[in-house]
Amino acid sequence: MVTWRLFKETSRSLTTAEGLAIDDTLPWAVSNLGSPPILHLYTFIPSVIVGKYQDIEAALKLDRCKARGIEYNRRSTGGGTVIMGPDIVALGFGINVDHPGLRKGVAGVFESLSQVLILALKKVGISASFRPKNDLEVQGKKIAGLSAASESGKALLFHTSLLVDFDVELMTDIMNTPLIKLHDKGYNCFSQRMTAARWELGRNMQVAEMLDAIQEAFEEYFDIRFKADTPSAREKAKIQEFIDTRYTQHDWIFSHKHPRSRMGIGQLKTKGGLLEIYLSLSGGSIENVVITGDFFSTTENVQKLENALKWTSARPEMIEKNLASVWEDEMIYGVDVPTLTAAVLKAKENQVRL
Amino acid sequence: MAEIKGYNMPDELYYHEEHSWARVDGNKVTVGMTDFFQKEAGDIVFVDLPEEEDEVEQGEVCGKIQSRKWIGKLVAPVSGEIAEINEDLEEDCSLINTDPYGKGWILVIEASNLDEELGNLMHGVDTVTEFIEKEIQKAEEEKAKE
């Protein structure tokens, strides 16, 4: 049976520089040292990590992070802001994109890795599903986010954060999200959109149990066995290089300041009720969107619509096209795609610089 | 204009296996990403490009392209100096999706070794068809294993 390498850290939580530097070394080792695929399972100290191309000053309230002792950093994969900590599984995975068993293409790779995580959650008693394109959800609530980057040669770095538990208050305090303007509604909105393993299971599940389940799920899905391992001398040198040149450097952490990171709120009275849209924009793309109001719908449907717009173009025709791609009759009672598009565009018109 | 298995792959262009295309006009080479790439990657939300006057080598990663939460590579199809960047992409990266061979062009390279390097790229309907079919076949084989 084929053997892959497993870097599993259960004795302590890692700093953002350590964890992210080890993760970046995984595809480097696969590509440059001929290493078999490597899975890194661990947790971070309390921290918040933005995506490679996010504007960190627009995404976070850095003064609140400092006041609460929350580390912040920037990862090398795409996507949005994630809160990390001792109760949130961090997963880094380095593999060659042509590796047998891994589905091909952007969508294929995300689907393969999602299947592994769905299997892991099943092992602990949680029925999750893949929310195209990049999240895992439990009955419409997000439990894990996935991101990836093509690295040197054919190697791929894959990141996941999976919530065993989650501090909603912390999130609302340190992140600049469209929901900040919602004040007391904010807590409720997050609670409706996210879940965690402990919340689903109703017991004090330990992170180690989830790490074991993920390890087993990888072995089962790819038909391999893991060998517990630690970085080699050359890999350790590379990890240190990433720490020194990237994850402790102001230029890396504060790179990618977008002149057009903005947030806007739009309200539109419709036959189906009031639509209230909270929108975060980064350049010409939608980074985050929240659809609220007094209309009649389900959390699952609202999230499906929100997800269809996240990380897509903010051009009017693209907004309409992306909403139409998931639209089903009466997803929001009394509202149609053109009306919802109009409400989103109102939020876009009302944008202010973050 | 060639449509291969539902992908628009214009005949006159040269293609790199990492899905960048090259349009040759004298020594100037306009570069973009193929219709196959944009369909497969989905909505492009960010491009990270080199600076004008930067030197690039054929096959070198000279930029990054984010589609949703994936960061992919822009590989230089030829060597040379970056002569121009498509600044419209800063405002609207989705041009790569909507018009990959037109308004969605990414950069122009002033080629330094064009005659030799064009031979390393794919060109012509038969070669490009074979490449696209292989890419599709790889994807279908893995899907079928599940």
Residues of A in contact with B96 (CB under 8 A): none
Nearest to A134 among B69, B90, B97 (CB): B69
Stretch A57-65: mean pLDDT, rounded?
A: 92
What is the per-residue pLDDT for A43?
98
Residues 46-105 of B with CB under 8 A from A: 46, 48, 61, 64, 66-73, 90-94, 97
Mark whether A95 and A178 lie in a shared domain: yes
Same domain, A117 and A198: yes
The residue type at B96: I
pLDDT at A259 over 80: no
Q: What is the pLDDT of residues A74-98, one digit of tens each?
A: 999 988 899 999 999 999 999 998 8
Cβ contact (<8 Å) for A284 and B92?
A: yes
Distance CA B25, CA A42 (A): 52
- The answer on A99 and A240 residing in a single domain is yes
Query: What pLDDT, on the 0 to 100 scale, is given for residue B37?
Result: 92
Of the three residues A253, A281, A306, the one that is the final residue of a domain is A253
Q: A308 and A185: one domain?
A: no
Q: Are the Cβ atoms of B143 and A103 closer than 8 angstroms?
A: yes
Cα–Cα distance measured from residue B93 to residue B85, given in angstroms and rounded to the nearest whole number: 13
Q: What is the pLDDT of residue A134?
A: 77
Rg over CA atoms, chain A = 20
Residue range of the domain that includes A7: 3-253
Rounded mean pLDDT, A142-165: 92
The residue out of A190, A220, A253 marking a domain boundary is A253
pLDDT tens-digit readout, A285-344: 888 888 988 888 888 888 889 989 988 888 899 999 999 999 998 899 899 999 999 999
Structure-token pair, residue A5: 């390498």
Q: How far is residue A131's CA from residue A116's CA, in Å, rounded to a whole number?
A: 14
Partner-chain residue, chosen from B71, B142, B146, that has the shortest CB–CB distance to A149 = B71
Give the amino acid at A219.
E
Q: Give the CATH number for residue A318.
A: 3.30.390.50
Instruction: Give A329-332's long-range contacts (Cβ < 8 A, gap of 24+).
Output: A331/A297, A331/A301, A331/A304, A331/A305, A332/A272, A332/A275, A332/A291, A332/A295, A332/A296, A332/A297, A332/A301, A332/A302, A332/A305
Give the CATH number, domain containing residue A183: 3.30.930.10
Does residue A168 contact residue A194 with C-beta atoms inside 8 Å?
yes
Please give the single-letter amino acid code of residue A155: A
Contact call for residues A286 and A314 (beta carbons, < 8 A): yes
Q: How many folded domains does chain A comprise?
A: 2
**Residues A148 and A276 occupy one common structural domain:** no
Using 50 as the pLDDT threshold, list the residues of chain B that sit under it. none
What pLDDT is stored for residue A181 in this prediction? 52
Domain end point (choices A220, A253, A286): A253
Task: Go through chain B and tell me how many residues it has.
Answer: 146
Tens of pLDDT along A235-254? Answer: 999 999 999 999 999 999 99
Taking Cα atoms as reference points, which of B9, B115, B92 lies closest to residue B44? B92
What residue ranges define each of the domains in chain B, with the CATH number in brackets?
A: 3-145 (2.40.50.100)
pLDDT at position A180: 52
pLDDT at A178 over 80: no
Q: Is A275 in the same domain as A232?
A: no
